[in-house]
Structure 1
């Protein structure tokens, strides 16, 4: 049956006589970790916020491993944490915005998005007046790209802002190549979406400006196969951060526009999170 199950066209069959007894022993250890938050207060509508997020945690150590036992998380997500700090600096050099801009480094993403879940359930700023969330997780380290990948494409009007900002850089939007992996539900923006906040999760695409799409796709696959959630996710002095820097300017320009505007981006019709947001519309009048 096992061999048959591996063949195309296999259909499930009842196994009514099968019995399974399982005994599992595990230990549970609790620990305390922190989210870290900083804010540039809005000059006229401080209660309305745009929130950047990036998780600062990774997977720690695994003493049973031979050799390197440290899961460094250099790309995932030290790059995102560095991006958060860089954006905080960029925004601090601007005149005070009308709305507040929040920089939220969340913990325990790798343990189930726990830090962002805590914030969404215990918000510092009103969720109903949170204009948008822009999440950064695993920045581009292989150079500039012509395309920008939208994870969870066709979700909210934030994509219209992204499209305009990308066009100013001579770039175009691209749907994620592997939507079946459910990445929109696997990083911290998801917890903001669940409480109705329009959330944007984008990343550099694979159409490398100098070496083409084949090179970019190979770099992405190499990372997935050889470094993602492995001790080998270490800093490499050969990284080309020009693509990450260009992406930061996308997020910066989108946030600057939102922070000095009055509009609240909406979920597109039919989106699963739209009803939650619409229920709090009266609080944004």
Structure 2
């Protein structure tokens, strides 16, 4: 290769290097401009309340973009994002052109807690239980199952056959609070007498004693039966309640009607 060819080859190589450097430089400039463009469209999300902020997770649900930390970047157009945090409802929001490159406030709302309360006793008695929370009537049923916003509450349990019960409780977001409550029955009194006296008293098929008599009994519904030979049996349904803890009865027993049988013979 003569001297001329060598110089020509060197010139071509220098030209290639210039093109390569120019191309790389152009690409770097393009990438920098793209990065600057995306950064300029970055929107920092400000989560409310503060205790949700540390654990929030973002996701781009619609649009072309991505999240990095608490900042959402958009390549083009508007974005729809979701934000989730333990104990909070999923938030969904649209970030439009007005908020691009600015601070976007987003409020998360707490998940409700669930309160489940069970009481023990006979089903027909428990069905009369009235439930009240913070002076608001909730239901009349044998159990309580309700969703409540997080916070502190006063639960009032009112069964007519038992002493009232008040329970202070705290409902945590997204959690279930379960209680089992024993209600104290009303201490009732029976006073039973009859005319004539000496009648046998039965309470729900259980023999109690002879009239006149007095005995204690828990709040409930009862079948009361008074029996005396040659007299009509007396049966009554009675209740011992908090409003009426004493049952007093004085039964006037009625004689059974007799029958007369005549055997007549001709003389």
**Shared fold, TM over 0.5:** no
Q: Which has the higher helix share?
A: 1
| Structure number with bigger Rg | 2
Hey, which of these two has a bigger chunk of strand by percent? 2
Q: Report which structure shows greater RCO (CA 8 Å, sep ≥6).
A: 1
TM-score by length of 1: 0.16
